[in-house]
Each structure stands twice: as C-alpha cells, then as structure tokens.
Amino acid sequence: MTEQRINIMEAPSAQNAAAAAPKTPEVSYASLTERFVALLIDYGIIFIPFRLLVGLWFKMSNPELELWQYFGLIALMNGLFILYVTIFSCGDRMTLGKALVGIAVVKKDLSGPISFPKAFMRAIGYYISGALLMCGFLMAFFDDRRRSLHDMLGGSVVVQIRPKTFMEQSLLRVIGAVLLFTFIGTLYTQFFSRGALLDQYYIRQARIHLHRVALLEDVHKAKYGYYTNDLLRLALLSGDPVQFQRDIRKAWEPKGFKIGVSKTSYKISAVAKDNKHTRVAYSPAE
C-alpha cells in the first residue's frame, strides 16, 4: 500500500482554489426599454382609474373646489402611485408592470430584495429624476448596470428574471412607443386642453364671478330702477369694492369683460384664465 502524505502547509493548487471560490451569478440587467414600459404600465394603473373616477365625480356632483383642492387631488394620485410602487418593490413582490415585462428590483449587491424604506426612497426618486428635467433617468445611459438616480437612492438594480426572444424585445419596443405617445397625449389633455381639471377650475371660477356680478346688477336695478354697465358702481354695491376687484382679476383675463344692458335685461361676458381663454357669459334669460 502506498502512503500519500499531504502537507497542510502547502497552498492549494490554482485548480482547487478556483473550484472552492464562490461563483458570481450571471446577471442580465434590465434594458432601458423594459424599464420604461414597466414604469408607464405602473403609472397607468393608478392614473387611468383615478382620472376616470374624478371625472365621473365632477359630472355627477359638479363640486366647487378651490385651487388648492385641485392640486390636492393631483398630490393624492401621485401619493397612491408612490405607495403602490413602494409596497410592490420590496420583499418578494413586483409591480404589475415589472411582472409583465419580466424584470425585478433587487439590492445593488444582488443579495435579495430591497427593504420598505429603500423602496420608498426609490419611489420618491422618480419625481426627483423628473424634476431634474429627466436627467435622473438619463443617468442610466452612462452606468454599466443601467442605474438611474432613483436606483442609487434606493440602493437597487433592476434585473431580468426571464430571458426574452428577439420577437419579445421587438414587441416591447412597439408597446413602449405606443405607451409613450399615449402618455404624451394624456399630459396634453390634462394641461393644455379644455378638459383638464385645472382648466375646468378656471372656467368654473369665471362663471361663479359672473353670477356674483349678475346679483349686483339685480341689486342695482332694485335700488336705482335700471341696470348699469359700470363695473365700479357694481363693485361699490358689493360692500368691499377692493376685494371685489381682486376677485374678478383672479377669475377673468384683464381684457374681454363686457356688460350689455337694456331697460329690461343685461348680458355679462368675460374671458376665463384657462389655457383656451374660454369666453363665459350670463344673462337672466339663459
């Protein structure tokens, strides 16, 4: 029998050392197209139902909201988005958009899912990236792991959880383009068209102040026996002419206000401060 002695003081061979060394997992980081499509899907999940419900509420109840309340609705919608993204980005969960695309958020060292606080910081990072003129998102073009600013805030990376064929990748690009144009069109509708919530507020305020002027016309008629086209006389009847003029300056454009009177009636018109500069009018017959 041959005895084989092993010197424990000798350094292990290169082959044994390589076998003993832990293997680095092969990771495929999510492409920018995949991440963009997932983000638009996730935002649409919150935005579309919220916009429909608020629009239905406005049609049914026609509420008279102050400007801060309109901004409050926008803040509520984005708060829901932050909560949704935070909850479904930590633990072993995924947002619907990421699940459909086949990507997931994990720690930057790939050791597991991120924590709730990190997921929250990551969600807030979306808005910081946007506030920086999208520069936070563009950072992904210069990072070897395609990390944007919100990834760095959340200590995370986004990885692929399943391989995709060429057809799937092409389909994602098409879906991304469609969603992008849809998103741009929606933003245009919200901020530049007559159907935007903020524009509806300005038009509503203009009409409210028309009715206030109409009430003063009726008071003037009862007191003096005739209608007047002198806005100053009507302001004096309001009891606080300075505040009256401040209110109408907030509600109407400086030019475009008209009062037409006759012995038996009157018509008041003004231009609202919405993006379309909508003309609003009121007369007792309407």
Q: Which pair of tokens denotes residue 265?
A: 């009636």
Q: Tokens 């600013």 belong to which residue?
A: 149
Q: What pLDDT is recorded for position 267? A: 92
Q: Is the pLDDT of residue 171 over 70?
A: yes
The mean pLDDT of the chain is 84
**Averaged pLDDT for residues 151-165:** 91
Structural contact between residues 154 and 105, judged by C-beta atoms closer than 8 angstroms: yes
Q: What pLDDT is recorded for position 16? A: 55
Q: What pLDDT is recorded for position 65? A: 72
Q: Which amino acid type is present at position 215?
A: L
CB atoms inside a 10 Å sphere around CB 184: 10
* Predicted TM-score of the model (pTM): 0.68
Q: Is the pLDDT of residue 166 over 60?
A: yes
Confidence of residue 106 (pLDDT cuts 50, 70, 90): very high
Confidence of residue 8 (pLDDT cuts 50, 70, 90): very low
**Averaged pLDDT for residues 93-117:** 92
**Averaged pLDDT for residues 82-92:** 94
Alpha-carbon distance values, 10 to 5, 6, 14, 131, 132 (Å): 12, 8, 12, 60, 58
Confidence of residue 6 (pLDDT cuts 50, 70, 90): very low
Q: What is the DSSP letter of 272?
A: B
Q: What pLDDT is recorded for position 195? A: 54
**Averaged pLDDT for residues 183-210:** 73
Q: Is the pLDDT of residue 24 over 90?
A: no
Q: Is the pLDDT of residue 19 over 70?
A: no
- What's the CA gap between 278 and 20, in Å, rounded? 75
Per DSSP, the residues of 19-84 read HHSPPPPP--BPPHHHHHHHHHHHHHHHHHHHHHHHHHHHHHH-----HHHHHHHHHHHHHHHHHH
Q: Which pair of tokens denotes residue 9?
A: 């003081």
Q: Is the pLDDT of residue 239 over 70?
A: yes
CA 3 distance to own-chain centroid: 76
Q: Is the pLDDT of residue 134 over 70?
A: yes
**Averaged pLDDT for residues 260-268:** 90
Alpha-carbon distance values, 276 to 34, 84, 196, 207, 259 (Å): 37, 35, 11, 15, 22
Q: Is the pLDDT of residue 143 over 50?
A: yes
Which residues in 140-247 belong to E strands, given as ranges? 156-160
**Averaged pLDDT for residues 250-255:** 88
Q: Percent of the chain having pLDDT more than 90?
A: 35
Q: Is the pLDDT of residue 223 over 80?
A: yes
Domain ranges within the chain, ordered by starting residue: 32-192, 197-282
Q: Is the pLDDT of residue 176 over 70?
A: yes
Find the helix or strand (DSSP H, E) in which 138 lies. helix 135-138
Q: What pLDDT is recorded for position 1? A: 45
- What's the CA gap between 104 and 164, in Å, rounded? 14
Q: Tokens 């980081």 belong to which residue?
A: 29
Q: Is the pLDDT of residue 261 over 80?
A: yes
